[in-house]
C-alpha cells in the first residue's frame, strides 16, 4: 500500500506534501492537517511484496511506544493509522538535520564530542525513566531542537519494559545497527538500559577518532567478536583526547554491563565535568589487550556476563545521584554527623549511587569579596579540604564521591541550579537552629524543598531547638 501513496493525496485528513526519506523499513512523508499548525511527519511502513516482515513488527512496536513517551527528548506523537486501513504514525516534524551528515567532518574536536555526549546521555536518561530502551542509537536517529536538546527518534527496535516485546517474541536474530550494538543485545538480551550506554560509547569513540571501535561487521560471527576483542584505545588514534574522556568512552564500552556506568545520568555527569572523572588504567591505555588475554576471554567467556533476571526498572533507582549540601560555616558537629549518617544509609541501600558534596561560598551582591579568609588561606581550597574531610568517614567506593564549592549570592538558588543541571535525584541538607531572621525571611532548606525537581531530605539535629 505504501507504494501507492502520492503527493497531494489525503489520508485520514492528512495531506501528503512530499516524500522526505526512504529507509530500510519505512518511508517518511511531509504532511499537513487543518487541525495542526505547520508541517508534520508521517511514517509509513514498507509492507509490500518482498519487504522484510520485521518492518511490520517493528512498526507495531513504535505505534505502541511513541504515544506513551513525552518530553523534549522525543518527537511529539500526533496520530496512528490502523493496520486494517492504512498503517502510519504522524509526529511533529523537527527542524534541522540529524547527526548523520556530520560524519563527513569526523573526527570532531574532543570538547564538541563531550558536549554532544552530554546532550545524548541526558536524552537517554529521560527515555529510560519512561521504561524504554532505545536499542538503535546511532547518528541518524539523533536530532536537536533549536533550544539545544537532543531528540531521539525511530523506536521500531526499542523495548518498553512494561509492554510485550514483539521483536523478541517473533524473531530469533538480533536486530540493530552493527557498529553500535551492545554485546548483550547481540546475545538477544533486549531489556538492559545500559545497552544504550554502550551504543553511546561507540558513537563518542567514532566522533572523537573518526574510526568505529568495532568496525561494521555484517554477520553474527563478526558481531560476536566484541565479546572478547577490545577496541584500540581512542588516544592511540588521536593523542589530544584527554585521558578522562578515554576513561568515559572505554567504561561505556565494557563488555560486561555491570562495569559500565550504571545510568545515563551518571554518564552525562561524567561527560559534563571531566575533571571529576576517577582515573583508572583505562584512561592511560595505549594498546589493545595482548593476544593471550584475548584468547583467554574468547574461550573462558568470563568477560561477558549476561545480566541476571531481575527488575530492570531498578537499574537507575539503585544508582541515584545524591547531592549533599553542607553548610561548613554554620553547622554544629552533631548536625554534620547526622548528615553523614543519613548519607551512609543511602549508600548502603544504593551501592552504585554517586554522591556530590557541595558547599555554597556565599558572596556579596555588590561589594567585592576577598578570596582569602582571616588566616590568609584561600576560601575555595579550604572548603574543598573540609568537604573531603567530612566525606572520609563515608567509606564510599573510589570515585563515588565528588566535591564542589559553588560561589553564589543565594545558597538556595545555587543548590537548586546544581540539582537541575546535574541530574540530581536526591538532595540531602541540614536544618539549622531557628532565629528571628530565618523566621522572617524563610529558610534555605524550606526554599529548596519547595522548588527542587527531586526528592529532598532535610536532616535536623535532635539536640537543636525546633525552628527551620
**One domain for residues 141 and 7:** no
Neighbours of 96 (CB within 10 A): 9
Residue that is written with C-alpha cell 595482548 in the block: 290
Q: Do residues 250 and 110 share a domain?
A: yes
Q: Is the peptide bond before 66 cis (omega within 30 degrees of 0)?
A: no
Verify that 154 and 247 share a domain, yes or no. yes
Domain-ending residue, one of 92, 116, 141: 92
- Residue 439 and residue 387 share a domain: yes
User: What pLDDT is recorded for position 120?
Assistant: 98
Query: Same structural domain for residues 62 and 141?
Result: no
Give pLDDT tens digits along the chain (468 positions): 444 889 999 999 999 999 998 887 788 999 999 999 999 999 998 876 555 667 788 888 999 999 999 999 999 999 999 877 889 999 999 988 899 999 999 999 999 999 999 999 999 999 999 999 999 999 999 999 999 999 999 999 999 998 888 877 777 678 889 999 999 999 889 999 999 999 999 999 999 999 999 999 989 899 999 998 999 999 999 999 999 999 999 999 999 999 999 999 999 999 999 998 999 999 999 999 998 888 888 887 655 555 554 556 566 667 888 999 988 776 688 888 888 889 988 888 888 888 988 888 877 655 555 655 556 567 777 888 888 888 888 888 777 888 888 888 888 888 998 888 888 989 998 886 665 445 444 588 888 888 898 899 998 876 544 444
Instruction: Determine the straight-line distance between the first and last CA of the chain, rounded to whole angstroms.
Output: 67
pTM of the shown model: 0.86
Instruction: Report the C-alpha dihedral over residues 235, 239, 245, 246, rounded to 10 degrees.
Output: 10
Residues 130, 268 share a domain: yes
In angstroms, the CA 424 to CA 131 distance is 19
Q: Select from 268, 302, 336 the last residue of a domain.
A: 302
* CATH of residue 55: 3.30.200.20
- For residue 342, count CB atoms less than 10 angstroms from its CB and return exposed for 0-12, middle for 13-18, buried for 19 or more: middle
Domain end (from 239, 273, 302): 302
Do 395 and 259 lie in one domain? The reply is no
Same domain, 359 and 211: no
Which CATH number does the domain housing residue 178 bear? 1.10.510.10
CATH of the domain at 387: 3.40.50.620
Domain that holds residue 7: 2-92
Q: Does 30 fall in a domain?
A: yes
Cell 564510599 sits at which residue?
A: 396
Residue 311 lies in a domain: no
Q: Are residues 364 and 391 in the same domain?
A: yes
- Same-domain status, 50 and 169: no
**Per-residue pLDDT at 328:** 75
- 466 assigned to some structural domain: no
With respect to residue 401, please indicate whether it lies within any of the assigned structural domains: yes
Q: Is residue 309 part of a domain?
A: no
The verdict on 79 and 133 lying in the same domain is: no
At residue 433, the pLDDT reads 62
Q: How many CB atoms lie within 10 A of CB 130?
A: 16
Q: Is 467 among the domain residues?
A: no
Q: Any bridge partners for residue 110, and if so which?
A: none
Q: Does 133 map to a domain?
A: yes
Cα(468)–Cα(460) distance, rounded to whole angstroms?
9
Specify if 307 maps to a domain. Answer: no
Residues 347 and 296 in one domain: no
Residues 138 and 127: their CA atoms lie apart, in Å, by: 15
Count of domains for the chain: 3
In sign, the C-alpha dihedral spanning 258, 260, 266, 268 is negative
Q: Which long-range contacts (CB under 8 A, 24 or more apart) does 383-390 make?
A: 383/328, 383/359, 386/328, 386/359, 387/326, 387/328, 387/357, 387/358, 387/359, 390/326, 390/328, 390/336, 390/340, 390/357
- Whole-angstrom CA distances from 410 to 93, 388, 415 are 40, 23, 9
In this structure, are residues 330 and 438 in contact, taking their beta carbons and an 8 Å threshold? no
Amino acid at each position: 500500500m505504501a507504494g501507492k501513496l502520492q503527493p497531494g493525496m489525503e489520508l485520514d485528513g492528512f495531506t501528503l506534501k512530499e516524500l522526505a526519506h526512504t529507509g530500510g523499513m519505512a518511508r517518511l512523508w511531509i504532511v499537513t492537517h487543518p487541525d495542526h499548525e505547520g508541517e508534520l511527519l508521517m511514517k509509513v511502513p514498507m509492507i509490500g511484496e518482498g519487504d522484510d516482515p520485521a518492518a511490520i513488527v517493528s512498526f507495531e512496536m513504535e505505534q505502541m511506544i511513541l504515544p506513551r513517551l513525552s518530553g523534549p527528548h522525543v518527537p511529539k506523537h500526533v496520530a496512528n493509522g490502523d493496520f486494517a486501513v492504512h498503517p502510519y504514525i504522524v509526529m511533529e516534524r523537527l527542524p534541522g538535520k540529524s547527526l548523520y551528515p556530520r560524519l563527513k567532518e569526523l573526527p570532531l574536536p574532543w570538547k564538541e564530542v563531550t558536549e554532544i555526549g552530554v546532550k545524548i546521555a541526558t536524552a537517554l536518561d529521560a527515555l529510560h525513566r519512561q521504561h524504554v530502551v532505545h536499542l538503535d542509537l546511532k547518528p541518524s536517529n539523533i536530532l536537536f531542537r533549536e533550544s539545544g536538546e537532543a531528540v531521539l527518534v525511530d523506536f521500531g527496535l526499542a523495548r518498553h519494559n512494561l509492554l510485550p516485546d514483539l521483536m523478541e517474541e517473533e524473531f530469533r536474530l538480533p536486530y540493530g545497527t552493527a557498529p553500535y550494538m551492545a554485546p548483550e543485545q547481540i546475545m538477544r538480551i533486549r531489556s538492559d538500559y545500559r545497552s544504550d550506554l554502550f551504543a553511546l560509547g561507540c558513537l563518542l569513540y567514532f566522533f572523537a577518532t573518526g574510526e568505529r571501535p568495532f568496525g561494521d561487521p555484517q554477520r553474527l560471527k563478526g558481531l560476536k567478536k566484541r565479546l572478547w576483542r577490545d577496541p584500540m584505545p581512542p588516544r592511540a588514534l588521536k593523542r589530544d583526547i584527554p585521558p578522562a574522556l578515554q576513561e568515559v568512552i572505554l567504561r561505556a564500552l565494557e563488555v560486561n554491563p555491570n562495569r559500565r556506568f550504571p545510568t545515563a545520568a551518571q554518564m552525562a555527569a561524567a561527560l559534563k565535568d571531566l575533571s571529576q572523572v576517577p582515573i583508572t588504567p583505562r584512561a592511560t591505555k595505549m594498546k589493545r589487550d595482548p593476544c593471550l588475554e584475548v584468547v583467554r576471554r574468547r574461550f573462558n567467556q568470563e568477560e561477558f556476563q549476561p545480566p541476571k533476571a531481575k527488575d530492570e526498572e531498578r537499574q537507575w533507582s539503585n544508582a541515584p545521584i545524591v547531592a549533599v549540601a553542607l553548610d561548613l560555616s554554620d553547622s554544629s558537629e552533631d548536625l554534620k554527623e547526622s548528615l553523614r549518617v543519613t548519607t551512609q544509609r543511602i549508600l548502603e541501600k544504593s551501592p552504585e549511587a554517586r554522591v556530590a558534596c557541595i558547599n555554597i561560598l556565599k558572596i556579596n551582591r555588590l561589594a567585592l569579596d576577598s578570596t582569602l579568609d582571616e588566616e590568609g588561606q584561600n576560601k575555595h581550597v579550604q572548603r574543598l579540604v573540609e568537604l573531603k574531610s567530612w566525606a572520609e568517614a563515608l567509606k564510599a567506593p573510589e570515585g563515588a564521591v565528588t566535591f564542589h564549592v559553588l560561589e553564589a549570592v543565594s545558597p538556595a538558588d545555587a543548590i537548586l541550579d546544581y540539582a537541575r543541571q546535574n541530574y540530581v535525584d536526591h538532595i540531602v541538607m541540614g536544618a539549622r537552629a531557628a532565629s528571628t531572621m530565618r523566621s522572617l525571611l524563610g529558610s534555605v532548606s524550606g526554599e529548596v524543598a519547595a522548588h527542587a525537581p527531586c526528592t529532598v531530605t532535610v536532616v535536623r539535629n535532635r539536640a537543636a531547638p525546633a525552628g527551620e
